[in-house]
Amino acid sequence: MLKTRVIPCLDVKDGRVVKGVNFVDLVDAGDPVEQARIYDAEGADELCFLDITASSDNRDTIFDVVARTAEACFMPVTVGGGVRTLEDIRKLLLAGADKVSINTAAVKNPDFVREAARKFGSQCIVVSIDAKSTGPDKFEIFTHGGREPTGIDAVSFAKQMVEYGAGELLVTSMDRDGTQSGFNIPLTRTIADAVHVPVIASGGVGTLDHMVEGVRDAHASAVLAASIFHFGTYRIREVKEHMKAAGIPVRED
Amino acid sequence: MTELLIVNYDAGNIRSVERAVSVCGATPVLSSDPEAILNARLLILPGVGAFGKCISSLRGKKLDLPVLEYIKSGKPILGICVGMQMLMEGSCEFGYHKGLGLIPGEVRKIPDKGGDGYPHRVPHVTWEGLEPKKQAWEGTVLDGIVPGADCYFIHSYAAYPEREQDVLATCSYNGVELCAAVRKENLYGLQFHPEKSGPIGLKVISNFISLGDRSC
C-alpha cells in the first residue's frame, strides 16, 4: 500500500496566516514561513497554501510569501487561491511552488485546466473541487466558499478535469469544512473511485480517526487539515503514529 | 566554497534546487553559458514538466553539446527528474523524443496497473523508499543512505534502463518496480526530487557535492 501523505494547510490572507496558532516555539505566529518551517521539521509530507486574500491589490504579496516559504522548507509546496491565468501559474512556480491548485477558474472555464496541464505538465496541476452532498449519491460543486451552487455534478466534473490533464484532485467537502465532524466520506470515495489520479481528502477533520477514515473509507491518497494543526490540537507526528497504528503506511523520519 | 553549476534552460522551478545546494555548503551558479558549463566542476541538470519540452529547450539554447562535452571530461553530473530522464536514449511522452543517449534504455509511461493486476493511480505522487539494485551505494550519491529511506516522487513517466548495472536504486510502486536512480561512472540521475525530500534529500545533494572534491 502506498504511503499516505499528511498535508497541513495554511490559510493566508495578505501574506499572513489568518487562523490562530498555539505553537510555543514560533517567533512570529502570523508568519507562514515560521509555520512552514515547523511543519517541515515535524515531518509533514507536503504543505498547502491557500491564499484567501480578499482584495486583488494585495495579490502580489503571495509571490513573495511563497518564495520565502519555499526557501524555508524542503518538502513540496502547493499553492491555491485566485489562480486564474497561465501567468499566475508561471509566477507561482517561479516563486518556488511545486504545484498550483485551481478552483473557481476550473469551474468557470474547464479549458483553462487543459491549457495549464499542457504548458506546465499534469504533475503540477491540482484541481480543487469544493462540493456538498445535495441528496443521496448526489454531489454538487459550490463556489464562493460554499455559498453558491453551480448545478455541476462533482463526480462528472472530477472525471472531466482528469481527462483535461489534472494530475491530482483536492476534494473539499463544503458541508463538513470547519465542523470538525470528519470528511464527507461518500463524496470523497465516489470521486476517488471514479478517477485514476491521486485524491486529497479535505474539509472536516477534527480527530485522528477522521484521518484514518479518509484513507481507509474514502480511498484518498493524502489527507489535508488546517485547524487541528493550527490550533495545536494534534501534531503531524501524532497523526502519523495514529495512522500507522491503524495499518496505514506513512513516511517516517 | 565549491561552486556548482545548475544548467538554466527554462526548465521550471530551480529555485529550490539552488536553495538546497547552498544549504549543503556549495555555491549554486545558474548559467546558460556554454563556456561556463564546460568549465564547471559540478553540474546539475534539472527538469520539470514534459520531456519533449525540456529537451527541445535544452537544444534550442544550444546547451546539449556543452553538457555532453562536460560529461566526457569525467566530472560529476546529476540529472534530477526530467533532467535524469534526458540522459536516456529517448522518451515516449507525447510522441517520441530523442534524449541525450548516455544511458541505454527509454522513458515510458508508468504501468497503469499495480503488481496485483488492479489499476492504480498515475501520476505516482508520494514518498517512496529507495532500494539498491546491483550497484553498491558506497562512494556514490547514495553513500550512507539507509535502504528504505523515503524520497519524494512526482512523475507519470519513468526510465527503463536496458542494463541492470546502470540502475543505482529502485522503488516499488504498488508492486511495480520503478527506476529511482541511475549511475554510470560520473553520470548520476535521480527520478525523485532530492531538493524536496527533507534531510535525506539534502544528504544526497551533499554526497554529490563531495564527489566534486574527489574528481579534482
Question: Residue B92 maps to which CATH number?
Answer: 3.40.50.880
Which of B120, B154, B201 lies at the smallest CB-CB distance from A123? B154
pLDDT of B215 above 60: no
- Which residues of chain A have a CB within 8 Å of the CB of B152? 45, 75-76
Quote the minimal CA–CA distance from B11 to chain A in Å.
10
The DSSP code for A233 is S
**Radius of gyration of chain A, Cα coordinates, nearest whole angstrom:** 17
C-alpha A192/C-alpha A185 separation (Å) is 10
pLDDT of B32-42, one tens digit each?
A: 999 999 999 99
DSSP B38-71: HH-SSEEE---S-HHHHHHHHHHTT-HHHHHHHH
Residue pointed to by grid coordinates 546558460 = B32
Grid coordinates of A219 = 480511498
Residue range B176-191, pLDDT digits in tens: 999 999 999 999 999 9
Q: Which of A31, A130, A175, A177 is catalytic?
A: A130
| DSSP reduced 3-state for B104 | strand
A143-147, B91-95, B131-135, B178-182: least confidently modelled range: A143-147
Is residue B69 predicted with pLDDT exceeding 50?
yes
B74 in contact with A, Cβ within 8 Å: no
Segments in chain A below pLDDT 50:
20-21
Residue A123 to residue B123, Cβ atoms within 8 A: yes
Q: At what angle do helices A61-72 and B15-23 cross, to 10 degrees?
A: 40
pLDDT the model gives residue A56: 66
Partners of residue A74 in chain B, C-beta under 8 Å: 16, 20, 195-199, 201-202
How far is Cα A167 from Cα A209, in angstroms, rounded to an integer?
A: 27
Q: Which three cell numbers stand for residue A126?
A: 491540482
Q: Do A251 and B150 touch (CB under 8 A)?
A: yes
pLDDT of residue A143: 83
Going through B100-164 in order, the beta strands assigned E by DSSP cover 103-109, 124-129, 131-132, 150-155, 157-161
pLDDT at A19: 63
Would you place residue B160 in the very low, low, confident or very high pLDDT band (cuts 50, 70, 90)?
very high
SS3 category, B100: coil
pLDDT at B137: 97
Contact with chain A for residue B48, Cβ under 8 A: yes
- Is B114 near chain A, with CB under 8 Å? no
- Residue range of the domain that includes A211: 5-245
- Please report the pLDDT score of residue B216 as a whole number: 47
pLDDT of residue A14: 84
Cross-chain Cβ contact B20/A197 below 8 Å: no
B120 phi and psi, to 5 degrees?
Answer: -130, 180
Note the pLDDT of residue A54.
Answer: 65
This model of the complex carries an ipTM of: 0.90
Q: Which amino acid is at A78?
A: T
Asked if residue A240 is part of any domain, the answer here is: yes
CA of A94 vs chain B CAs: smallest distance (Å): 5
Residue in A23, A32, A103 with CA at minimum distance from that of residue A70: A32
Kindly state whether residue A252 falls inside one of the protein's structural domains. Answer: no
Residue B197 Cα to chain centre, angstroms: 13
pLDDT tens-digit series, residues B110-130: 999 999 998 899 999 999 999
H/E run at residue B198: helix B198-214
Q: Tell me the CA distances in angstroms from B189 to A170, A197, B68, B143, one per residue in order.
A: 31, 26, 15, 15
Q: How many structural domains does chain A have?
A: 1
- What is the per-residue pLDDT for B38? 96
Looking at beta carbons, which residues of chain B come within 8 Å of A123?
Answer: 48-49, 123, 125, 154-156
Considering just the CA atoms, what is the radius of gyration of chain B in Å?
Answer: 16
Chain A: residue nearest B119 by CA?
A196
Distance (Å) from the alpha carbon of B73 to chain A's nearest alpha carbon: 32
State how far the Cα of B27 lies from the Cα of A219, in Å rounded to an integer: 44
Of B15, B193, B201, the CB nearest to A96: B15
Rounded Cα distance between A159 and B114, Å, is 21
Amino acid B87: pLDDT: 98
Cell numbers 544550444: residue: B62
Asked if A226 contacts A10 with a C-beta cutoff of 8 angstroms, the reply is yes
Q: How far apart are CA A230 and CA A20, in angstroms?
A: 6
Q: Which residue in B has a C-alpha nearest to residue A250's C-alpha?
A: B127
Range of the domain at B7: 3-214
Which chain A residues are Cβ-neighbours of B202 within 8 angstroms?
74
Question: Residue B143: its pLDDT value, please?
Answer: 97
Tell me how far apart the alpha carbons of residues A108 and A26 are, in angstroms, rounded to a whole number: 39
Question: Which letter, b or e, does each residue of A104-131 get, where b requires 16 or more Cβ atoms within 10 Å of its Cβ?
Answer: bbbbeebebbbbbbbbbbbbbbbbbbbb
Report the CATH number at residue A227: 3.20.20.70
A10-43 pLDDT, tens digit each = 988 888 887 644 555 666 668 889 889 999 999 9
Question: CA angle, corner A163, sides to A184 and B114, nearest 5?
Answer: 75
Our count of domains for chain B comes to 1
Chain B residue with minimum CA distance to A117: B49
The size of the A-B interface in CB pairs under 8 A is 93
Residue A20 is predicted with a pLDDT of 45
Going through B69-175 in order, the beta strands assigned E by DSSP cover 77-80, 88-91, 97-98, 103-109, 124-129, 131-132, 150-155, 157-161, 167-173
Residues in chain A with CB shorter than 8 Å from the CB of B201 are 74
Interface contact A98-B120, CB threshold 8 A: no
